[in-house]
């Protein structure tokens, strides 16, 4: 009897769910993948923008965010959509206070509304990131690039299967902490740290207030800088910090096997034995004859 236990072995799902599962890994796999991308960006954008909404609004009525880079256009579109939906929901929930803040700025005098609205201290800055007062494009670029590079290194370290000090269950918390450090320490200088959040929020602001929320040159800087910074982090980690002869950590191996033995997309040990397709180290396309048998590298 195999030691592999599937969820369906202990819990039977409703028939409609089971029918959908038969297609989610084949004909409509893209739908589930895009939903996961959109949901991830939605959750951190919703929390981040929501926490940013109260200070600018309350400041006017009563006399600043954040990650993952994916080269697939479909996934990036899903991420931007998730950020856009989150920002629009925050706007609906805060609309009465935002309108009240606009009225207060309008009554403050000529030009005050236009000069403050699309800044980190104004209602427009809740959704469309803006360059802080006193900063310039050069310093904003350096700040964005260095922080994004740091975040990239942390992310690649968190998903490195040879990292014994960081099991998969801890990886998300370490990445979240890295983003927290980035925001707490460097957001005052102007920081987007994620194209999906920035573009999603920018599109939401454009939908609400029109072209004045475009952001100009800083919008391009905030949306695009994380791409070369993350690519450089990837090259740096792969070239200087990765060693293909290291041993895979047991905790990471559990995750790898969980994917390998997926009932629909993988090959379970007992099924492989019955069909002659059992997976062995020698059948792995990445296996080489470099003396792995009987030898464990000291880590």
Question: In percent, how much of the chain has pLDDT > 90?
Answer: 21
pLDDT band at 117; cut points 50, 70, 90:
confident
Q: Would you say 201 and 87 are in contact if contact means Cβ atoms under 8 Å apart?
A: yes
pLDDT in tens, 19-63: 787 777 777 777 877 887 787 777 767 766 765 554 454 444 443
Provide the residue ranges of all domains of the chain, joining segments of one domain with +: 23-241
Q: Tell whether the model's pLDDT for residue 176 goes beyond 60.
A: yes
Task: Give me the pLDDT at residue 233, please.
Answer: 93
Tokens representing 202 are 């920018």
d(CA 210, CA 197): 18
**CA atoms of 174 and 180, how far apart (whole Å):** 10
Predicted pLDDT of residue 289? 45
Q: Number of helices and strands (H, E) in the chain?
A: 12, 0
pLDDT tens-place string over residues 206-248: 999 998 888 889 999 999 999 999 999 999 999 988 888 888 8
Q: How far is 248 from 256, CA to CA, in rounded Å?
A: 10
Residue 42 · residue 86 · CB < 8 Å:
yes
When the pLDDT of each residue in the chain is averaged and rounded to a whole number, the result is: 77
The candidate with the shortest Cα–Cα distance to 206, out of 198, 150, 183, is 198
The encoded tokens of residue 248 equal 């895979």
CATH superfamily assigned to domain 23-241: Glycerol uptake facilitator protein. (1.20.1080.10)
Q: What is the largest CA-CA distance in the chain?
A: 80
- pLDDT value of residue 280: 46
Stronger pLDDT, 3 or 124, i.e. the higher one: 124
Q: Give the confidence band of 258 by pLDDT, cuts at 50, 70, 90.
A: confident
Q: pLDDT digits over 122-160, tens only?
A: 888 888 888 887 788 999 999 999 999 999 999 999 999
Burial 100-125 (b: 16+ CB within 10 A, else e): ebbebbeeeeeeebeebbbbbbbbbb
DSSP letters spanning 6-74: -HHHH-PPPHHHHHHHHHHTTTTHHHHHHHHHHHHHHHHHHHHHHHHHHHHHHHHH-----------HH
Q: Considering only CA atoms, which of 148, 234, 138, 225 is closest in space to residue 186?
A: 148
User: Do 41 and 83 form a contact (C-beta atoms < 8 A)?
Assistant: yes
Could you count the other beta carbons within 10 Å of the beta carbon of residue 298?
A: 5
Contacts of 174 (CB under 8 A, 6+ apart): 154, 158, 166
Give the pLDDT band of residue 288 (cuts 50, 70, 90).
Answer: very low
> According to the model, what pLDDT value does residue 151 have?
92
* Residue 58 burial by Cβ neighbours in a 10 Å radius (0-12, 13-18, 19+): exposed
Asked if 116 and 122 touch (Cβ cutoff 8 Å), the reply is yes
Q: Which pLDDT score, from 0 to 100, does residue 204 have?
A: 93
Give pLDDT, residue 235. 92
Mean pLDDT is highest, among 7-11, 116-120, 246-250, for: 246-250
pLDDT at 265: 67
């Amino acid at each position: 009897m195999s030691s592999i236990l599937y969820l369906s072995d202990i819990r039977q799902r409703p028939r409609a769910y089971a029918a959908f599962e038969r297609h989610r890994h084949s004909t409509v796999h893209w739908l589930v993948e895009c939903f996961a991308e959109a949901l991830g960006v939605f959750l951190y954008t919703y929390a981040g923008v929501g926490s940013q909404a109260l200070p600018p609004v309350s400041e006017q009525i009563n006399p600043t965010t954040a990650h993952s880079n994916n080269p697939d256009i479909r996934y990036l579109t899903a991420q931007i959509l998730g950020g856009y939906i989150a920002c629009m929901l925050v706007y609906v929930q805060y609309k009465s206070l935002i309108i009240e803040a606009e009225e207060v700025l309008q009554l403050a005098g000529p030009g005050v509304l236009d000069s403050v609205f699309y800044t980190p201290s104004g209602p427009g800055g809740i959704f469309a990131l803006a360059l802080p007062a006193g900063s310039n494009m050069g310093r904003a670029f350096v700040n964005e690039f260095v922080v994004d590079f740091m975040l990239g290194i942390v992310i690649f370290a968190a998903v490195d299967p040879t990292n014994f000090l960081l099991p998969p269950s801890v990886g998300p918390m370490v990445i979240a902490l890295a983003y927290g450090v980035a925001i707490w320490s460097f957001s005052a200088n102007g920081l987007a740290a994620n194209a999906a959040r920035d573009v999603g929020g920018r599109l939401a602001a454009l939908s609400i207030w029109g072209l004045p929320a475009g952001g100009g040159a800083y919008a391009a800087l905030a949306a695009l800088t994380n791409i070369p910074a993350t690519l450089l982090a990837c090259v740096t980690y792969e070239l200087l910090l990765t060693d293909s002869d290291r041993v895979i950590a047991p905790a990471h191996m559990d995750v790898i096997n969980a994917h390998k033995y997926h009932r629909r997309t993988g090959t379970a040990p007992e099924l492989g034995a019955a069909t002659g397709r059992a997976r062995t180290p020698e059948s792995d396309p990445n296996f080489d004859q470099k003396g792995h048998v009987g030898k464990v590298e000291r880590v």
